[in-house]
Amino acid sequence: MNELPILSILILLPLVGIFFMTLIRNDNDQSSNNLKHTALWISFLNFLISLYLLFAFNQQDADFQFEERYFWIENGISYHLGVDGISILFIVLTTMLVPICILASYNSIKFSVKEYLIAFLALETFMIGVFCSLDLVLFYLFFEGGLIPMFLIIGIWGGERRVYSTFKFFLYTLAGSVFMLLAIIYIFITAGATDVSYLLDYNFTRNEQIVLWLAFFASFMVKIPMWPFHTWLPDAHVEAPTAGSVILAGVLLKMAGYGFIRFSIGFFPEASELFAPLIFTLSIVAIIVTSLIALVQEDMKKLIAYSSVAHMGFVTLGIFTFTVQGIEGSIIQMISHGIVSAALFLCVGVVYDRLHTREISRYGGLVSKMPMYAFTFMIFILASLGLPGTSGFIGEFLVLLSIFSINTYFAVFATTGVVLAATYSLWLYRRMIFGALIKDDLSEMLDLTRREIIIFVPLITLTIIIGIYPKPVIDIIEPSAKKIVNQVNGKLN
Amino acid sequence: MENIVHIIPEIFIFCSALILLILGLFIKNIKLINNLAILSLLIAVAIVINQPYQSIYLNSYIIDEFSSLFKIMIFIGSIVTLVMFISSREDLHINLYEFPILILFATLGMMVMVSANDLLAMFIGLELQSLSLYVLAALNRNSLLSSEAGIKYFILGALSSGLLLFGISYIYGFSGNTNFNLIAVNYNSESLGLLIGIVFVLAGLAFKVSAVPFHMWTPDVYQGAPTPITAFFALAPKIAAMGLLVRFLFNSFGELYLDWQQIIFFISIASMMLAAFAAIAQTSIKRLMAYSSIGHIGYALIGIACVSSEGLRSLLIYLMIYLVMNVSVFTVILSLKRNDAYFENISDLSGMYKNHPFTTILVALMMFSLAGIPPLAGFFGKFYIFVAALESNMVFLAVVGIIASVISAFYYLRIVKIMYFDESKEEFDGLNIRSLQVLFYPSSFLVILFFIYPAPIIQLSEYAIKSFY
């Protein structure tokens, strides 16, 4: 079974799809439909392969599985892939969201369809690569490479201020990441290799750890994003096309959370312990401040974008508690946020496609015209504010539990974030869905089409299943999370 | 007499240049002459690859792995220029049979430069190359810009040659030798004259590689010269001058690097930072490429400033990748042609992807590669430069390097932005020229697919620096 290089197949399949798509002409509606179908099937096939990966994954084993290692650049820098309980769920999340994104852009992308789909498949390759790679240089390659398609997706198919947003997105992320590059090079020189499994057993001195941790932190804090470097995210979200926002919120932010778990606390436990109060403070500030900012937004996408920053604050809180619950909680929070915020952006996309505005005040009373939409939107709003029975609750609960065991004050402040989340989410819902339908242009609104229902059904199902019975997910994460926590505690003592 | 065997490539290029010169008087078929020049360069590549390594003429001329690699890079640059010449010679008003011949003479000069191990051989090589380049820059006699470029380059080039000669005379005066290996034998801290000599020679060479603060000529000459010649400037002479710089510094003053390291350190930082800021405001794509090349030379100089085998290795990796990226970019610049008129403003690229989707994505990827974004080849160039810098504990240099690379990402992104996000214009018919496509596609794919298996280039550069470490 392990002889099949399944991770490489996952990474390469979208590229194969790109190759075939370059051969398809794009001069009329028929051929552009062919292109859409090709991209959809390729990404769906990739999803099936990732399900097989999930199925074949040994849940008892905390080590890396499906490992592949080939000589790549030179000794110490190899093409090394592998998954464990921490990364596998992100891979499935990615492969699940990409076909959904492609399906969601069937009608909203009017021009240059071919380039759009190619950019998306290229982005999928980079995203899967990030979660699979067990070599820092390879990781950096995928981590930064994803900027190129995303830059084009926002810049070409985005809204009015797309150029400003996409430049801001690119330059912020690049400026953060180059320091990580220097840190990776330093690791390569001092430790002699950039292999992750080798480095997890390597002990850096305390001073080295502090500098390297800060360099990695610079990259991840911009990407995740943490207050005060979050300002690129609302801009990018607002201007990106719907599918771009979905991928941005659903997967790209998670790369940084994954990086924190895998690299920051895995390689530099002492520095992580030292800087944990800093992370806690920044996260709590982020949770409270961005929730308050979300409260006053006029633009739906901006509101959800700020709520993303707040939700990612919970993720960083959980990771730096160094407890099994904390890490499990933050991974579930990331998965849940990946599903829920993606779905929320899709919900925005549904009404945006009909009315071409994201201003909240232009809507109101949609429930009378779009009952199914109102129902769908409700589920995700409730999941986003962490109602018990939805996936959002599990993650937030575990994180709050772990932070409570560390420090009561932080827990109290973090909990206020939950209340604020309820405030802005419910208020958004009230303004859009409830009330009387008095605006004329809303009377023409149609409810969800069949295509949109197909998009939302799996997301709703997952949100509720994880919310009611999270055990299968926790079972996958637990061994690896325990291993990391043991490793960190072992190094600290 | 047996030494002649070792300089067969040089003799061969020299003879073919002379024969073609005579042929050109009688045959009016410029394309044939050009193709013969390409052929002779290809033959020279074959000879250089199979050459035995030897140092000859009392160790004043060295043929080793290092010089062979540089010669092959120079040949590639010359061949690319000649291929570009075929398609553009008439519209650019440079349809003269002297063009291939001058390129051959310049190539010969550069071959001497990278093999020279003696101050005199070095100077002869440099001058042969420079004189050919002065003429080439001014080749379009009817264009004011081209003549201006030629004159400017000539005056400043003559000045730099003067500085170089002045430095050489100091070095000879204080050491009594012109051979690189013997210059520094009697060096001690009191021989201030020798130090002055090094500084002047470095100033002269910095002019040739167009490193800040000796870069002033570059944007003007790049803009004024006909595009194939601009491409030649970017491809061959800089690489040759880098090779010469390495041999001069490492063979003669390798042990005494503390005396020159800080000079390289300074011009490297100055080049990277100035290029990053100055390029932002450019409107002409050729001027932009001029600043881009200044910046890239700054990065390559980090490799020299490290004074280590990793440094030299990274320098070679960087130069090879730089060569390939520039081939791709300049073929595109040369194909921006509509109704026999060439376009050189960045704004002319606007909306190019609507009409030429495939070419544009490749150009965009070249821009990302020049900016050093993974997974493209340009990233690996910078990666190795930074590896070398950190290994030699030059953290400051590396930090300045990454900051400059983020700033310079802005102007490369601007080109992508103009190509993709702005209103589209008419089609360019020059993009269909077969001879340019032959250069454009392979070089672009090389850059894009480099990440799949970068090991051969890295091993090649390790092999080439054997004679130094």
Q: What is the DSSP letter of A252?
A: I
Q: Per the CB < 8 Å rule, is B458 touching A140? A: no
Burial label for A415, CB within 10 Å (0-12, 13-18, 19+), is: middle
For B189-242, what is each residue's pLDDT tens digit? 667 888 888 899 999 999 999 998 999 999 999 999 989 999 999 999 999 999
**Within B89-118, where are the H helices?**
98-115
Residues 6+ apart with CB under 8 A from B140: B92, B93, B94, B146, B147, B226
Question: What is residue A2's predicted lDDT score, i.e. its pLDDT?
Answer: 52
Q: Which of B387, B400, B445, B457 to mutate to test the interface with A (most CBs of A within 10 A)?
A: B387
How many residue pairs bridge chain A and chain B with CB atoms within 8 Å of each other? Answer: 86
CA distances, B433 to each of A187, B332, B334, B345, B440 (Å): 47, 11, 10, 20, 10
B358, B387, B405: residue with CB nearest A185: B387
Decide if pLDDT at A410 tops 90: no
CA distances, A301 to each of A170, A232, A427, A442, B99 (Å): 19, 13, 14, 19, 60
Question: What is residue B358's predicted lDDT score, i.e. its pLDDT?
Answer: 86
Query: Model-level pTM?
Result: 0.93
* Mean pLDDT on B369-384: 92
Q: Residue type at B395?
A: V
Burial label for A48, CB within 10 Å (0-12, 13-18, 19+), is: exposed
* Mean pLDDT on A71-82: 87
What's the gap in Å between the CA of B409 and the closest CA on chain A? 8
Burial label for B341, CB within 10 Å (0-12, 13-18, 19+), is: exposed
Does the N-terminal peptide bond of residue B213 adopt cis geometry, omega within 30 degrees of 0? yes
In a domain, A344, yes or no: yes
B375, B417, B420: residue with CB nearest A141: B375
Burial label for B301, CB within 10 Å (0-12, 13-18, 19+), is: buried
In a domain, A1, yes or no: no
pLDDT band at A1 (very low <50, low <70, confident <90, very high): very low
pLDDT band at A358 (very low <50, low <70, confident <90, very high): confident
Q: Per the CB < 8 Å rule, is B390 touching A142? A: no
In a domain, A157, yes or no: yes
Place of tokens 């440099």: B126
Angle in degrees, 0-180, between the axes of helices A147-157 and B357-370, rounded to the nearest 10:
130
Tokens of A79: 């093409």
Does the N-terminal peptide bond of residue A228 adopt cis geometry, omega within 30 degrees of 0? yes
**Coil, strand or helix at A83:** strand
> What is the tally of helices (H) and strands (E) in chain A?
21, 2
Nearest CA in chain A to B351: A156
Beta carbons within 10 angstroms of residue B394's beta carbon: 23
H or E element: which one contains A67?
strand A65-74
Question: What is residue B189's predicted lDDT score, i.e. its pLDDT?
Answer: 63
Q: Per the CB < 8 Å rule, is A73 touching B458? A: yes
Place of tokens 């915020």: A341
Q: Per the CB < 8 Å rule, is A147 touching B383? A: no
Question: What is residue B300's predicted lDDT score, i.e. its pLDDT?
Answer: 94
What's the gap in Å between the CA of B372 and the closest CA on chain A? 10
In a domain, A302, yes or no: yes
A72, A144, A185: residue with CB nearest B373: A144
For B341-355, what is each residue's pLDDT tens digit? 788 888 888 888 888
Residues 6+ apart with CB under 8 A from A58: A65
Domains: count for chain A: 1
pLDDT band at B1 (very low <50, low <70, confident <90, very high): low
Question: What is residue A364's predicted lDDT score, i.e. its pLDDT?
Answer: 82
Least-confidence region, from B163-172, B344-353, B395-404: B344-353
CA distances, B62 to each of A8, A217, B463 (Å): 47, 49, 16
What's the gap in Å between the CA of A231 and the closest CA on chain B? 18
Least-confidence region, from A423-427, B88-92, B284-288: B88-92
Q: Which of B362, B392, B406, B461 to mutate to test the interface with A (most CBs of A within 10 A)?
A: B406
The answer to whether residue A171 neighbours chain B at the CB level (below 8 Å) is yes
**Coil, strand or helix at A78:** strand
**Coil, strand or helix at A474:** helix
Angle in degrees, 0-180, between the axes of helices B395-421 and A147-157, rounded to the nearest 10:
30
Residues 6+ apart with CB under 8 A from A334: A90, A254, A257, A258, A315, A395
Q: Are B244 and B126 in contact, with CB atoms under 8 Å apart?
A: yes
The answer to whether residue A102 neighbours chain B at the CB level (below 8 Å) is no
pLDDT band at A93 (very low <50, low <70, confident <90, very high): very high
Name the residue among B428, B195, B358 with its Cα closest to residue A24. Answer: B358
CA distances, B409 to each of A155, B329, B370 (Å): 16, 16, 8
Q: Are A165 and A124 in contact, with CB atoms under 8 Å apart?
A: no
Q: What is the DSSP letter of A323?
A: S
The answer to whether residue A121 neighbours chain B at the CB level (below 8 Å) is no
In a domain, A411, yes or no: yes
In a domain, A126, yes or no: yes
B368, B383, B421: residue with CB nearest A148: B368
* Angle at B81 (CA atoms; ends B80, B82), nearest 5 degrees: 95
In a domain, A396, yes or no: yes
Name the residue among A245, A241, A249 with its Cα closest to residue A309. Answer: A249
Q: Per the CB < 8 Å rule, is A175 touching B406? A: yes
Q: What is the DSSP letter of A440?
A: G
Q: Per the CB < 8 Å rule, is B455 touching A167? A: no
Q: Which of A138, A151, A211 to mutate to test the interface with B (most CBs of B within 10 A)?
A: A151
For B138-158, what is each residue's pLDDT tens digit? 888 888 888 998 999 999 999
Nearest CA in chain B to A23: B358
pLDDT band at B367 (very low <50, low <70, confident <90, very high): very high
State which residues form the domain around A219. Answer: 6-492
Report d(CA A411, CA A351) in Å as an integer: 37
Least-confidence region, from B90-99, B365-374, B446-455: B90-99
Q: Are A459 and A339 in contact, with CB atoms under 8 Å apart?
A: yes
In a domain, A322, yes or no: yes
Report d(CA A385, CA A302) in Å as an integer: 16
Decide if pLDDT at B88 tops 80: yes
Residues of chain B in contact with residue A71, where contact means CB-CB under 8 angstroms, are 455
Decide if pLDDT at B188 tops 80: no
Q: What is the CA radius of gyration of chain B?
A: 21
Nearest CA in chain B to A215: B399
A148, A163, A171: residue with CB nearest B421: A163
Phi, psi (degrees; rounded to nearest 5) at A78: -125, 165
**Within A296-359, where are the H helices?**
300-319, 324-355
Decide if pLDDT at A314 tops 50: yes
Interface of B with A (CB under 8 A): 353-354, 357-358, 361, 364-365, 368, 373-375, 379-380, 383, 386-387, 390-391, 398-399, 402-403, 405-406, 409-410, 413, 416-417, 420-421, 451, 453-455, 458
Mean pLDDT of all residues in chain A? 89
Q: What is the CA radius of gyration of chain A?
A: 21
Q: Are A235 and A158 in contact, with CB atoms under 8 Å apart?
A: no
Question: What is residue A111's predicted lDDT score, i.e. its pLDDT?
Answer: 82
Question: What is residue A215's predicted lDDT score, i.e. its pLDDT?
Answer: 94
Mean pLDDT of all residues in chain B? 90
Name the residue among A246, A451, A432 with its Cα closest to residue A357. Answer: A432
**Coil, strand or helix at A231:** coil
For A130-184, what is each residue's pLDDT tens digit? 999 999 999 999 999 999 999 999 988 888 888 999 999 999 999 989 999 999 9
